[in-house]
Amino acid sequence: MEENRWFLNIIQDDFMNGKIDLDSTVKLLEKLHMPFNLAHVKHVFKKTVDKRKIHTINMEDFRAIYRAIVHRNEFHEIFCAYSQNRKFLADTELIEFLKKEQFKTEDAEITALEVILKYEPIDEVRKRRQLSFEGFIRYLNSEDCTVFRKEHRTVYQDMNHPLCDYFISSSHNTYLVSDQLIGPSDLNGYISALLKGCRCLEIDCWDGSNNDPVVYHGHTLTSKLSFSSVIHAVDKYAFAASDYPVVLSLENHCSPKQQERMAQYLLNILGDKLLTSTIGDIAVTQLPSPEALKFKILVKNKKSGTIEETMLRKGQDSHGETGEVSEEEITSSDEETDEKAPLYPKSGLSKRKSEGISSHPPRKKAKMKKIQIAIELSDLVIYTKSEKFVSFEHSMAHQKCYENNSIGEVKAQKFVKHAADQFVSHTSRFITRIYPKGTRTGSSNYNPQEFWNVGCQMVALNFQTPGIPMELQNGKFLDNGGCGYVLKPEFLRNRNSTFNPHNVGRYSKPISLSIRLISGHQLPPSNLSKSNKADPLVQIEIYGVPEDQAKRKSSVIKSNALSPRWDETFSFTVQVPELALIRFCVQDEISLVANDFLGQYTLPLLSLSKGYCTVPLLSKRGGKLEPASLFVYVWYY
């Protein structure tokens, strides 16, 4: 009775003239504060008016539309299982539900009261400390019931470990927003990456006119940005999404004179944000932590000499001086020029040559000559000195803790396959950056999971390219408050670790995971549908060490994107849950051999909530598809 009275009080003024049209229906739904997909509302409205061949509805029609969109059978079944009178949940009944189904065993009484005060829309019911079905719907649809654990939405990990102990959100050729050959360079590449919590940006620097360095993909037709404009964008957005340090990975092709100008821009634009000296002792035996480097921007580049020599030289006038680094060492941020240079298609190659664009450059002999690096720029490299990777043995014998390597995906994949344990040992000591091979001219991405499995910190991806690799990237770095730093598992930090992702052995602490896929709600309609229809199915995927890779697929629900119901359970045994990600992907079955993407959501397996949860769906580019969601029941032990 109270529910009816509450509902009528809200809507009756809108029906003063008896009937309302579609626009008024939409406004009234907004007034009731329940999210909806316009395509579904239009379809349900059309079904209602088509029966009478008019274009307006009465109050009872609106109530039926509201129920079709908002009142979900699966929610009502759970509500009735705990409500003795099937009208309201008493506080004791809500406490029982929270304890038994949502695993809120601590302070359940307080949580129940918070739920009632926050989600119960009917004043009289709230005063009695009860929850109506309207309140129950709002609670199950809320942030408090999403599949991503509430505790992981803020920084909760220990941020006082050395930098090399963290996975670091990293982008490749950040300035590009399309392909690697002729696409535009755009400051929005940097801005959007930083707003997504990216902490390592790549800047390809080349000599520009009037002694003003430019940023673009060398030897290609990509457009150019001024280096100063890039640094201004970094200055403005570096800490918009995260307080933790940003690393500027310079792929430096500039002459010493323009390197000096780069250094001046970095100093003048970034000011105190730029890290220009060590923290604490001059002698560096361990990298500082993200916490110690909060709100700092680090330069990753080749360096002449050691940090200690830089600090001793500070205060002396070194303007205009240059240091020397051998060609073998400076091959563009280690080996990147050779592997990253694009391989042009044979057709049209002669035309490009006539336009002064070179084809894939030949490998140069090591130590042919010395390359000069401006001391002004060299001195800005503190904890992130780029060092050419020679071998794991060479690094173990000679590499300093603040020296880091960039390794191309092809070489890195061979190491993962044939020397995974050595790779793990290496990344426990040194920051290692992985980047896409040069033949990925369309800005496609590799699977980052295999490199996270061996502890690589900076697994750089083309952020502009949607697809599973970027969904895994976004899912992994949802963790720890989306700050761009995720603490690696202990077995990837321990320098004596013998962990091998191909044979997890004693490092395996398996968990059993059960996911009951109950239903979908207001899923995006099929691209092929003229109404609100789709034939949805759900694929649940595990990404992790090779042994944990798994895919399960639901049945297809025909012609129902509004409220498909599955009630199917999927079970997994995950050997290394610390490295696992879980991906929910909703597809529309077009034919027996082809499906169309409708939405997805990816998150770390250990960030799963338990109990009844909604899975919010995201678009191919990671945007929210509210209110599209899945409803699941999660349990693991």
206, 207, 213, 215: CA torsion to nearest 10? -30
Give the Cβ contact number of residue 452 at 10 Å: 26
Give the Cβ contact number of residue 106 at 10 Å: 8
Cα-based distances in Å from 123 to 87, 119, 478:
15, 11, 36
Active site residue 172: yes
Cα(479)–Cα(148) distance, rounded to whole angstroms? Answer: 9
Q: 556-561: long-range contacts at Cβ-Cβ below 8 A with a sequence spacing of 24 or more?
A: 556/589, 557/520, 559/533, 559/534, 559/535, 560/533, 560/534, 560/536, 561/40, 561/520, 561/522, 561/523, 561/524, 561/525, 561/526, 561/529, 561/532, 561/533, 561/534, 561/536, 561/588, 561/598
Kindly name the residue from 43, 217, 253, 426 that is annotated as catalytic: 217
Cα(153)–Cα(416) distance, rounded to whole angstroms? Answer: 31
Q: What is the three-state SS of 526-573?
A: CCCCCCCCCCEEEEEEEECCHHHCEEEECCCCCCCCCCCEEEEEEEEE
Cα(151)–Cα(411) distance, rounded to whole angstroms? Answer: 38
The sign of the CA dihedral 472, 478, 482, 486 is: negative
Partners of 542 in the β-ladder? 550, 582
Give the Cβ contact number of residue 225 at 10 Å: 22
CB 601, CB 147: distance < 8 Å: yes
Q: Which amino acid is at 247?
A: V
Cα(405)–Cα(418) distance, rounded to whole angstroms? Answer: 19
Question: Which residue in 185, 280, 174, 188 sits closest to 236, CA to CA?
Answer: 188
The sign of the CA dihedral 382, 387, 392, 394 is: negative
Backbone angles phi, psi at 421, to 5 degrees: -65, -40
Query: Which residues, at least 6 apart from 314, have a Cβ–Cβ distance to it below 8 Å?
Result: 277, 379
Active site residue 217: yes
CB 588, CB 120: distance < 8 Å: no
Kindly name the residue from 161, 172, 253, 426 that is annotated as catalytic: 172
DSSP 440-459: -TT-----THHHHTTT-SEE
How many residues does this entry show for the chain? 637
> How far out from the chain centre does Cα 172 lie?
14
Give the Cβ contact number of residue 293 at 10 Å: 22
Residue 359 buriedness (CB in 10 A; 0-12 / 13-18 / 19+):
middle
The sign of the CA dihedral 402, 407, 413, 415 is: negative
Question: Which residue in 307, 300, 301, 302 sits closest to 325, CA to CA?
Answer: 302
H or E stretch including 118?
helix 108-119
Catalytic residues, by residue number, are 172, 217
